């Protein structure tokens, strides 16, 4: 199912000022919750070998998380990650909700090349995300001033 990233970008652009992380995750949740997305949120790097939960919707999530999971992998490699079936990650998967079956993670890379954290979306459906989601999410994050990563950055697909 195509997701309405362009309309979410327009909604964020129509608001005054640079969007906050909370406003971005709220807009994503409102725009995507009927498209198979079960959770959306940011994990931020404050220090060390873990990420801490930032703004998120719409259920509790694990925090802090180590860099060995999908979010950590995208963070360390500074490359988007599409996980078609989280079971394929084995012990490397951090299960906050055992119903989640697929995931897409996009790093927040600033203009200097430093990664501040990641945007993470989950779904209860296997194969819910693809490279079109990655392009849409990067475009949205660029419009919100949250990443400098090129919109055509190819994802790692697991």
For 57-116, write each residue's pLDDT tens digit.
988 898 999 998 899 999 999 999 999 999 998 877 777 888 999 999 999 999 999 999
pLDDT > 90 fraction of the chain, expressed in percent and rounded:
79
Domain ranges, residue 55: 5-157
Give me the CATH number covering residue 85. Answer: 3.30.450.40
Q: Does residue 125 contact residue 102 with C-beta atoms inside 8 Å?
A: yes
State yes or no: cis peptide before 58, omega within 30 of 0.
yes
Q: How confident is the model at residue 14 (pLDDT cuts 50, 70, 90)?
A: confident
Whole-angstrom distance, CA of residue 141 vs CA of residue 151: 9
Torsional sign, CA 146, 68, 70, 153:
positive
Residue found under tokens 């909370």 = 22
Residue found under tokens 């652009």 = 13
pTM for the structure as a whole: 0.94
**Which residues face 102 on adjacent strands?**
123
Instruction: Report strand pairing: 81-83 vs 102-109.
Output: antiparallel
Q: What integer pLDDT is reported at residue 51 of this predicted model? A: 96
Q: What integer pLDDT is reported at residue 106 of this predicted model? A: 98
Q: What integer pLDDT is reported at residue 54 of this predicted model? A: 96
Instruction: Identify the three-state secondary structure at position 36.
Output: coil
Work out how many domains the chain is built from and give that number: 1
Q: How confident is the model at residue 1 (pLDDT cuts 50, 70, 90)?
A: low
Q: What integer pLDDT is reported at residue 98 of this predicted model? A: 87
Whole-angstrom distance, CA of residue 114 vs CA of residue 118: 12
């Amino acid at each position: 199912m195509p997701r309405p990233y362009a309309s979410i970008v327009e909604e964020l652009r129509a608001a005054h000022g640079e969007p906050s992380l909370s406003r971005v995750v709220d807009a994503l949740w409102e725009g995507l919750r009927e498209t198979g997305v079960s959770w959306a949120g940011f994990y931020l790097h404050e220090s060390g070998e873990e990420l801490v939960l930032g703004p998120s919707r719409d259920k509790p999530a694990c925090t802090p998380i180590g860099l060995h999971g999908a979010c950590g992998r995208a963070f360390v490699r500074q490359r988007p990650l599409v996980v078609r079936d989280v079971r394929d990650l084995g012990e490397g998967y951090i299960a906050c909700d055992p119903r989640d079956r697929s995931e897409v993670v996009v790093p927040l890379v600033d203009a200097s090349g430093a990664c501040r954290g990641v945007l993470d979306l989950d779904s209860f459906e296997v194969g819910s995300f693809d490279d079109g989601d990655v392009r849409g999410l990067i475009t949205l994050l660029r419009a919100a001033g949250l990443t400098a990563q090129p919109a055509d950055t190819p994802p790692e697909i697991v």
